[in-house]
């Protein structure tokens, strides 16, 4: 799929991430990978998207080192797609998307899937952003320092 613009040289880490996974299908493939789906056919069935689009997205996620090929877990000829360490590091992003959806996209009492601690079965805590010294921060307590604001520019 042609991107309308590339942010892969941006100084903003959000832009570089969005450049790689900032589309509906990549995010849902990742969700499914975190849920343990591994095979092309499993993703295709769960997502209901066209095979060519799925193939393109999987190739893209493999090219960026987020998924990798693995031999079929049952010894068959299928190959499978599994999260790399880099892919698993997107856990926080997926949890953030989930928790916002839980809070803002369901009516009170409307059932939804829940992310639970595998050991005790209790829902995970809401994500919090903390300062270096542990204070809890909300959006108005944090600012982005551009590269140009981090150190004086070289004189010439």
Quick one: which of 41, 72, 76, 141 contacts a copy of itself (CB under 8 A)? 141
Minimal distance, residue 150 CB to a copy of itself, in Å: 7
CB 58 within 8 A of CB 29: yes
15 is a site residue for a copy of itself (CB under 8 A): yes
Residue with the two structure tokens 């969005």: 18
The C-alpha atoms of residue 28 and residue 25 are separated, in whole angstroms, by: 5
Site for a copy of itself in 94-133 (CB under 8 A): 94-106, 111-125, 127-133
The one-character DSSP state at 109 is: T
18 is a site residue for a copy of itself (CB under 8 A): yes
59 is a site residue for a copy of itself (CB under 8 A): no
Q: Which is nearer to a copy of itself, 108 or 121 (CB)?
A: 121
CB 78 within 8 A of CB 69: no
């Amino acid at each position: 799929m042609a991107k309308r613009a590339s942010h892969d040289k941006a100084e903003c880490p959000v832009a570089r991430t969005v450049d790689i996974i900032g589309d509906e299908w990549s995010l849902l493939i990742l969700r499914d990978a975190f849920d343990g789906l591994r095979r092309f056919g499993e993703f295709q069935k769960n997502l209901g998207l066209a095979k060519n689009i799925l193939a393109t997205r999987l190739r893209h996620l493999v090219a960026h080192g987020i998924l990798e090929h693995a031999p079929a877990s049952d010894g068959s000829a299928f190959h499978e797609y599994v999260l790399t360490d880099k892919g698993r590091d997107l856990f926080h992003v997926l949890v953030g998307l989930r928790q916002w959806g839980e809070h803002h996209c369901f009516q009170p009492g409307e059932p939804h899937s829940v992310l639970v601690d595998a050991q005790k079965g209790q829902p995970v805590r809401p994500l919090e952003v903390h300062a270096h010294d542990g204070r809890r921060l909300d959006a108005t307590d944090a600012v982005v320092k551009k590269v140009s604001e981090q150190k004086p520019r070289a004189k010439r």
